[in-house]
Chain A
């Protein structure tokens, strides 16, 4: 189910105090794929995400998203281009309501600029109303609609993870980078989250996710990349990678 290349990573390397977090990592993510990134702790997976989203600068290498180079771009710039991410430690604004967190995620809001606020107020109101209906329907699709006015800090951990996934959707990003989307939540919620992720390619999105939960990865990924100590060890469809002797050896170490 592959389309053309959406994200191209070429020869990315990153050192931290002499430790190689990423070593000449290259890969391609194609449109409408769900790619799983697996590997032991410290393999460099989150480092890769941080570089892809502009929070960290690589020591060498290139990243292209739809042909545009991402290296040197600030995080907000990369997000505007259509790359969104979730965080391993689940960043959301706890003090704001569930609905507000979603509304925050929409791109190109006229009401976020001074000019829009004071000179194009009707447009802002209209856009805010539209975004609100969109956000509410997103919440409804996962059964969170009644919680829309609650402070996000009041949601359960699993619900918050679901919300952060919805924020990625609301942003309209073509590429979603999900950092451990189902870690630490109950099986029922895992199933719900996985079904949402599975449906993303049909909505025109592409996903790359980091996970330790191998079953989840097997269930929804079209392709899997295995990393260890900053190096790409194996790549291919889930079954092949799982049975790769190098992967088995790395897990046994």
Chain B
């Protein structure tokens, strides 16, 4: 998330700009949490690799924009393809490895991806990252005012929500839920469980890539530290707290998890303290929800036993 050192965004921007900043972040996290919800909430495939898909999308767009100066739509297209490919790679092991062991496998993919982003210095800039990513432009029109970029993020968030709605409120979504609850039963009804699992990974990863592209162009500087395991866990928390298996839950979850901790800034705490408190807050929320309300605020699934025997 946003930088922790030095002045807070609120001090740097004015009130309006600050609010837009928060809304843009919420939009990006809605896209991330909806895409993870498709995987984890609807199909029951929990993954700690989501930040890897997010990061690949960001880096692909950044590299294309910086090195080739290619148009924004081409960048998004390539980012989605490449994140989707990584999704394919991560999804395939889900066919052989079950449940919590699969989560460990996704952890491995996450760390390996981070390692590549951090260590392949000649290509990705390594820990120094990629500065100076140009703003989004269509033809000659540069989308630089914040409120315009916010509209772009809003557009993509709505698009993602519509696509996801079509996916889940349909026979396709019914199959996903069936796989989540009892994949043996689903297979006995003629559903190709393996195909759906890998497909939903590709789709979820591709959508997360879109969020990465938006993030890269917004912040204009990316480095590997934005795409770590901790980021994956944050996205998982949004899905769980908002509600696994409910799209509105992902929206509410993103709003709650991004906006509420911002209130901490106004209590007058030093920046670093606020950052740690925010994390303690969401760690505590995660534990509290798992104990008292594992289906989250609006969800229907709680990652419990009984599915996929």
Contact = CB atoms under 8 A, between A and B. Distances in A.
Q: In the complex, is A directly touching B at CB under 8 Å?
A: yes
Interface of A: 53, 55, 74-76, 79-80, 84-85, 87, 91-96, 100, 103-105, 107, 109-114, 117-118, 124, 128, 167, 171
* Residue among A55, A95, A167 with the highest chain B CB neighbour number at 10 A: A95
A80 B190 contact: yes
Nearest to B177: A96
A109 B188 CA distance: 15
A84 B178 contact: no
A107 B190 contact: yes
Interface stretch (B118-126, B166-174, B216-224): B166-174
A27 to B, nearest CB: 21
Nearest to B181: A93
Contact of A76 (B166, B181, B191, B301): B191
Contacts of A79: 187-190
B273 interface: no
Contacts of B166: 117-118
Interface in B172-186: 172, 174-175, 177-178, 181-182, 184-186
A20 B172 CA distance: 41
Contacts of B192: 74, 76
19 contacts: A53-B188, A55-B188, A75-B187, A75-B188, A76-B187, A79-B187, A79-B188, A87-B184, A91-B182, A92-B182, A96-B181, A109-B171, A111-B172, A112-B191, A113-B172, A114-B199, A117-B166, A124-B170, A128-B171
B188 A85 contact: yes
A59 B166 CA distance: 44
Contacts of B193: 76
B172 A93 contact: no
Contacts of A87: 184-185, 188
A74 B187 contact: yes
B174 A103 contact: yes
A179 B89 CA distance: 38
Contacts of A124: 170-171
A104 B199 CA distance: 19
Given A100-B174, A104-B186, 12 more contacts: A76-B187, A76-B190, A84-B189, A91-B184, A91-B185, A94-B181, A95-B177, A96-B177, A103-B171, A104-B171, A104-B175, A107-B190
> Which A-B residue pairs are the 10 nearest by beta carbons?
A111-B171, A79-B190, A91-B185, A75-B187, A112-B171, A80-B190, A109-B171, A93-B181, A76-B192, A76-B187
Interface string B139-167: 00000000000000000000000000011
A50 to B, nearest CB: 10
A85 to B, nearest CB: 6
Main SS at interface, chain B: helix
B190 A93 contact: no
Given A109-B171, A112-B171, A117-B170, A96 B178 contact: yes
A74 B167 CA distance: 25
Nearest to B309: A91
* Residue among A74, A93, A110, A128 with the highest chain B CB neighbour number at 10 A: A93
Contact of A104 (B167, B178, B300): B178
Nearest to A94: B181
Contact of A55 (B174, B182, B184): B184
Contacts of B184: 55, 75, 87, 91
A110 B167 CA distance: 13
Contacts of A111: 170-172
Nearest to B171: A111
Contact of B188 (A84, A103, A107, A113): A84
Contacts of B174: 96, 100, 103-104, 112
B174 to A, nearest CB: 6
